Amino acid sequence: MLSRTADNLFWMCRYLERAENTARMLEVNLQMSLLPHDPQARDGLWRAVLRISELETAFDAAYPATTPQDILHFMVRDPANPSSIYSCLRNARENARSVRGNLTTELWETYNQTWLELQRHLRERYPERHPGEFFEWVKFRSQVARGVTVGTMLADESLCFQRLGIHLERADNTARLLDIKFHEQADLKAAHDAMEQRQTSNETEPALLERAGSAHSEFYRWSAILGSVSALETYRKVYRDVISADRVAELLILRADMPRSLVASVNAVADDLAQLRNDRSGETERRAGMLAAELRYARIETILDDGLHPFLDRFLQRINDLGNRISEDFLVPLA
Amino acid sequence: MKDQTSVRVAAYDEMIDKSGGIRPHYQRFNDWLGEQSAESMMTRRLEADINFRRVGITFSVVGDEAGTERLIPFDLIPRVIPASEWRVLDAGLKQRVRALNRFIYDIYHDHDIIRAGKVPAKQVFTNSQYRPEMQDISVAEDIYCHIAGVDVVRAGEGEFYVLEDNLRVPSGVSYMLENRKMSMRLMPEAFNRIKVEPVAHYPDLLLDNLRESAPRGADNPTVVVLTPGMYNSAYFEHAFLAQQMGVELVEGRDLFVERSTVYMRTTQGPQRVDVIYRRVDDDYLDPLSFRGDSALGVAGLLSAYRAGRVTLANAIGTGIADDKSIYLHVPEMIRFYLGEEPILKNVPTWQCAKPDELSHVLANMHELVVKEVHGAGGYGMLVGPGSTKAQIDSFKDRVRANPSNYIAQPTLSLSTVPTYVESGIAPRHVDLRPYVLCGKDIRTVPGGLCRVALREGSLVVNSSQGGGTKDTWVLEDASC
């Protein structure tokens, strides 16, 4: 297969998966923001979306205020934001268009149709009028594309590169989602510090953090995260117990049978790399296999004791490294 | 009293004869059409539109913002050609392409036709389409124009004329195939009643043709389609043909040349390429030999080609034979190389390069079609009868400034086919581009791309100028 074709297939899937995950994340935030919050906590919630995706600087440069509407606008339809749903779906379709000859007709039409419908939705202000339904639509179109892929594509190299794109992106996105709590608190603390400079707060910092992280909001936050990866029912089924942070982390990091977990995504990456092996890719395959093995034999207690945020941070670096190595070994090397 | 429209539509109509009757080869279609309600035909037209957009059968327009995609309007009423007429066309096309291929070989080898005084040396060797790099290079099987798209029109009382031989990178064949798919999908009952020759095997013939012309020694040759990329106006077609043939669609950056061999970059390392069906113009093929600023080509491709290590289809330098100043010599080529009388007519052509013909053109421009010698796509031409005095005057200045850049032809009243327009069904002018494959044999598929000028009275059928397309039905023998 042409390296450029593989590159297009890989990115076509990464972008669609990213659009889906952005929609999932925004949907959760939308639901969370309906819960009773003080205004700072609510803002923190929305700022966290930007932090997760490392888009804070780009956002602040272009938007004077941080209203939920601004952030939704930025994350849904802003063409200047390379991670907006608009940009992702456009890039997915552009990549599909340049390899349309390698896709089944049905698959190409699915990508094309998604793009055409998106343009109509944006014209008709669907995301603004019915954000929840719009996010459902994004998820649904991504699921349809995956279904059509599995249902019509020959199980060859081309399918492997598509899966590689999906799972690498998903590993990245799930890790970022799990880190949302860290980003929220960081933001809350920043807001608090700023406030302190202006006036003397009679509330102490630990108290503030505690309030934000009270058992009550803790429960809703983690159930929202579960909901965003469609894992609420799975959680109940697996644990048959109340929702707690360590179990959610375990489910989304270490459960190999959980389709959006880190270990499941990394396992899939390692499997596909084994199938795609060429004479340059040995080291990449080894690193993927190593990461999969570490996750397989890890314990959630150890991870949490050492700190979830540093763990996820390291994980994201390794995923990024795998992405670069895959480009070097198989695709069009990044300039 | 007749209004102006009906006067102008005095052209030969493919469906309706002079007395208003239906021509025999359209009878069955007309019967079928008569049974359809206006609403059901409207639904079909909408469905065609939706389908073309969903499938992404679009083209980009030169000068439009990059990535803007437009649909080429598809008209449901087919152009029907009786078997007897197709037999003549088919023989004429094959004869013509055979002679043209011999001509190109001759121009890049012994120049027999020039020494025989049939074609002036100046017109060949000073022509920008002549490629000195090709002199004395042998190409596989001596085939130059592997794929030709010959534009044929019908005028006057119904005689066929060849308007243009497209021998560089003729496009449009994907529309021929997609139009047929669409017709069969929207009007299956009509196909039940009318026996239409199939065209769907074109990609197989094309692949066969390309593999046949591989360099010697390549058994099981690797064929690729070379595209300028997804922003090219014909990108859909490039992708479509690659997919239909089951070969890779490559861009210049996917290929590289090492020790006079062409390779493509694959996920499993370099893979040798034997035949390149290139949809990139000569000028952009190799930045080392032609335009240095071309990012579309492959450095060193020409050296691999000259070494006979790779086949380019079409060959480099075929433009010398479809140039409008060479066009008028084609009947003579047929006599010279084949010893036959031409089956298809040429349109009478004046060369502005000749002073007496130039003055004729300047004096009669309001009645003529004037074209740039190297122009294509309906750009840089003037249709005298449809132009204002001011337009004609300014065009005259352009011709005077550079006469050898122009030729002129009488304005042919192209034949018409009934076509859906806003006000119902009305005659619109059409042309026909059948595709001729030149390999060890010369082959065609029965049919071609029928383009239709949708604007009333317009004679310009190019899609870039607002033209549409129709399916072309060549009837099987028994039907008519």
Q: How confident is the model over B139-189, as pLDDT tens digits?
A: 999 999 999 999 999 988 889 999 999 999 999 999 999 999 999 999 999
DSSP characters over A199-250: S--SS-HHHHHHHHT-HHHHHHHHHHHHHHTT-HHHHHHHH-S---HHHHHH
User: CB–CB of B56 and A98 under 8 A?
Assistant: no
DSSP characters over B59-88: B--TTSPTT--BPPPEEEEEEEE-HHHHHH
pLDDT of residue A209: 46
Given the structure tokens 């003055």, which residue do they identify?
A: B359
Return the amino acid letter for B208: D
A28 — phi, psi (to 5°)? -60, -45
User: CB–CB of B254 and A4 under 8 A?
Assistant: yes
pTM: 0.81
DSSP characters over B343-363: SSEEPP-EETTSHHHHHHHHH
Q: At what angle do helices A3-32 and A215-228 cross, to 10 degrees?
A: 150
User: CB–CB of B253 and A4 under 8 A?
Assistant: yes
Q: For residue A278, give the chain B residue with the closest CA.
A: B268
Chain B from 217 to 276: CB within 8 A of any A CB:
229-230, 239-240, 242-243, 248-251, 253-254, 264-269
**Least confident range of B4-13, B228-237, B350-359:** B4-13
User: CB–CB of B56 and A112 under 8 A?
Assistant: yes
Residue of A105, A109, A157 lying closest to B267 (CB–CB):
A157
User: CB–CB of A97 and B56 under 8 A?
Assistant: yes
* Distance, CA of B245 to CA of B177 (rounded, Å): 13
The length of chain A, given as a count of residues: 335
Q: Residue A325, SS3?
A: helix
Distance from the Cα of B91 to chain A's closest Cα (Å) equals 34
Q: For residue A103, give the chain B residue with the closest CA.
A: B243
As to burial, measured by CB atoms within 10 angstroms (0-12 exposed, 13-18 middle, 19+ buried), residue B343 is: middle
User: CB–CB of A113 and B54 under 8 A?
Assistant: yes
Residue of B230, B243, B250 lying closest to A2 (CB–CB):
B250
pLDDT of residue B59: 65
**Which residues of chain A are within 8 Å of residue B242 when distances are taken between CB atoms?**
101
* Distance, CA of B41 to CA of B46 (rounded, Å): 9
**Which residues of chain A are within 8 Å of residue B230 when distances are taken between CB atoms?**
94, 97-98
Structure tokens that stand for B254 in this block = 């996917």
Residue of A6, A98, A279 lying closest to B230 (CB–CB):
A98
Please, which residues have CB within 8 angstroms of residue A143's CB and are 6 or more apart in sequence?
Answer: A20
DSSP β-bridge partners for residue B150? B165
Best of A11, A12, A98 to mutate (most B CBs within 10 Å, chain B): A98
Q: How confident is the model over B128-144, as pLDDT tens digits?
A: 899 999 999 999 999 99
User: CB–CB of A112 and B269 under 8 A?
Assistant: no
What's the mean pLDDT when you consider all of chain B?
89
Chain B from 46 to 85: CB within 8 A of any A CB:
53-56
Q: How confident is the model over B206-250, as pLDDT tens digits?
A: 999 999 999 987 789 999 999 998 888 888 899 999 999 999 999
Q: Report residue B3's pLDDT band, with 50, 70 and 90 as the boundaries.
A: very low
Number of CB pairs, chain A paired with chain B, less than 8 A apart = 57
**Which residues of chain B are within 8 Å of residue A157 when distances are taken between CB atoms?**
267
Residue of B230, B251, B266 lying closest to A1 (CB–CB):
B266
Please, which residues have CB within 8 angstroms of residue A66's CB and are 6 or more apart in sequence?
Answer: A43, A46, A47, A59
Question: What's the Cα-to-Cα distance from B46 to each of A237, B184, B236, rounded to whole Å?
Answer: 49, 15, 21
pLDDT of residue B8: 46
Instruction: List per-residue pLDDT tens for chain A, 335 residues long.
Output: 899 999 999 999 999 999 999 999 898 888 877 776 677 777 778 888 898 888 999 999 999 988 889 999 999 999 999 999 999 999 999 999 988 888 998 999 999 999 999 999 999 999 999 999 999 999 999 999 999 999 999 989 999 999 999 999 999 999 998 887 777 766 666 656 666 665 554 544 444 444 445 556 677 778 888 988 889 889 999 998 888 888 999 999 999 999 999 999 999 999 999 999 999 999 999 999 999 999 999 999 999 999 999 999 999 999 999 999 999 999 876 54
User: CB–CB of B242 and A4 under 8 A?
Assistant: no
Please, which residues have CB within 8 angstroms of residue B239's CB and are 6 or more apart in sequence?
Answer: A100, A101, B227, B249
CB B320 within 8 A of CB B124: yes
Q: Does the structure show a pLDDT above 70 at B478?
A: no
Return the amino acid letter for A292: A
Q: For residue B224, give the chain A residue with the closest CA.
A: A2
pLDDT of residue A57: 92
Structure tokens that stand for B109 in this block = 């080898």
pLDDT of residue A55: 92
A216 vs B434 pLDDT, higher one: B434
Q: Residue B466, SS3?
A: coil
pLDDT of residue A208: 46
Total Cβ atoms within 10 A of residue B309? 19
pLDDT of residue A48: 84
As to burial, measured by CB atoms within 10 angstroms (0-12 exposed, 13-18 middle, 19+ buried), residue A247 is: middle
Given the structure tokens 């599909």, which residue do they identify?
A: A96
CA atoms within 13 A on the CB side of A303: 25
pLDDT of residue B430: 95
CA-CA-CA-CA torsion sign (B347, B353, B358, B362): positive
Best of A12, A97, A328 to mutate (most B CBs within 10 Å, chain B): A97
* Distance, CA of B322 to CA of B338 (rounded, Å): 18
Q: For residue B238, give the chain A residue with the closest CA.
A: A101
Best of A100, A110, A325 to mutate (most B CBs within 10 Å, chain B): A100
Chain A from 95 to 114: CB within 8 A of any B CB:
97-102, 105, 108-109, 112-113
**Which residues of chain A are within 8 Å of residue B266 when distances are taken between CB atoms?**
1-3
pLDDT of residue A9: 96
Q: Which H or E element spans position B187?
A: none
Chain A from 204 to 263: CB within 8 A of any B CB:
none
- Tell me what percent of the residues of chain A surpass a pLDDT of 70: 88
pLDDT of residue A197: 61
Distance from the Cα of A31 to chain B's closest Cα (Å) equals 34
User: CB–CB of B248 and A2 under 8 A?
Assistant: yes
pLDDT of residue A205: 46
B68 vs B399 pLDDT, higher one: B399
Q: How confident is the model over A299-333, as pLDDT tens digits?
A: 999 999 999 999 999 999 999 999 999 999 998 76
Q: For residue A108, give the chain B residue with the closest CA.
A: B55
Chain A from 139 to 178: CB within 8 A of any B CB:
157, 161
Residue of A2, A101, A330 lying closest to B243 (CB–CB):
A101
- Tell me what percent of the residues of chain B surpass a pLDDT of 90: 69
Please, which residues have CB within 8 angstroms of residue A278's CB and are 6 or more apart in sequence?
Answer: A329, A330, B267, B268, B269
Q: How confident is the model over B266-309, as pLDDT tens digits?
A: 998 899 999 999 999 998 898 888 777 777 889 999 999 999 99
